[in-house]
Amino acid sequence: MPALERDYAGMLAADCLEQGWTLGFMAASDDHAGRPGRSDWLRVRRAYPGGLAAVWAPELTREAIWDGLYNRRCYGTTGARIYLEFFVDGEPMGSIIRNTPFAQAHRIGVNVCGTARLAAVELMRGRELVYVHSSYDATCRFTHMDEPPPGAANYYYIRVLQADGEMAWSSPIWVS
């Protein structure tokens, strides 16, 4: 069955998050040449550039990188080397903020440095688009206060869209 005719219900990352899974987001290519983000390097056939995984780590060591992955301090891009910082109430992406009522206001902080002009930086609460920050530059920094309504999803994440079509997704931050 062709990929466009398949029913992918229940197979998306958003479906897993709605079921209560605690996941970190990253990206990668299906490539064995060891060229991150350049899966089309042979140019034998038209290929999609590979995705990249970015990991927040305090130092460039194997242990720090694995710790960052384990704690979901990571994000994915479509291949562009987009810099993304994301915080909820001062806690970084991948965090689980406990003993805080989700219905109270939360301070979201975002810092993005793209590789091209940013078309939009979107704040998501579950599958709901909460806020869009438009920029006419390759960088943006903003804070946003969000007070979720009763019954709203209890996690946030950021989606970055560049004018050249490249994208990035942060790992979620959960509030429980």
Provide the residue-wise pLDDT of the chain in tens; the chain has 176 residues: 566 677 777 778 888 888 889 999 988 876 666 666 666 655 555 555 678 999 999 999 999 999 999 999 999 999 899 999 999 999 999 999 987 777 788 999 999 999 999 999 999 999 999 999 998 899 999 999 999 988 888 899 999 999 999 999 999 999 98
Whole-model pTM: value is 0.85
The sign of the torsion formed by the CA atoms of 75, 81, 82, 84 equals: positive
User: Which fold is adopted by the domain 8-175?
Assistant: Immunoglobulin-like (2.60.40)
pLDDT of 104: 82
Q: What was the pLDDT predicted at 126?
A: 93
Q: What is the pLDDT of residue 132?
A: 97
Distance CA 171, CA 75 (A): 5
The whole-number pLDDT of residue 24 equals 92
The residue ranges of every structural domain in the chain are 8-175
Q: How far apart are CA 63 and CA 65, in angstroms?
A: 6
* Residue 50 confidence (pLDDT): 78
Q: Looking at residue 122, what is its pLDDT?
A: 97
Q: What is the pLDDT of residue 150?
A: 84
Res 34: pLDDT: 63
Classify strands 139-146 and 155-162 as parallel, antiparallel or unpaired. unpaired
Burial of 130 (0-12, 13-18, 19+ CB in 10 A): middle
Quote the pLDDT of residue 40: 60
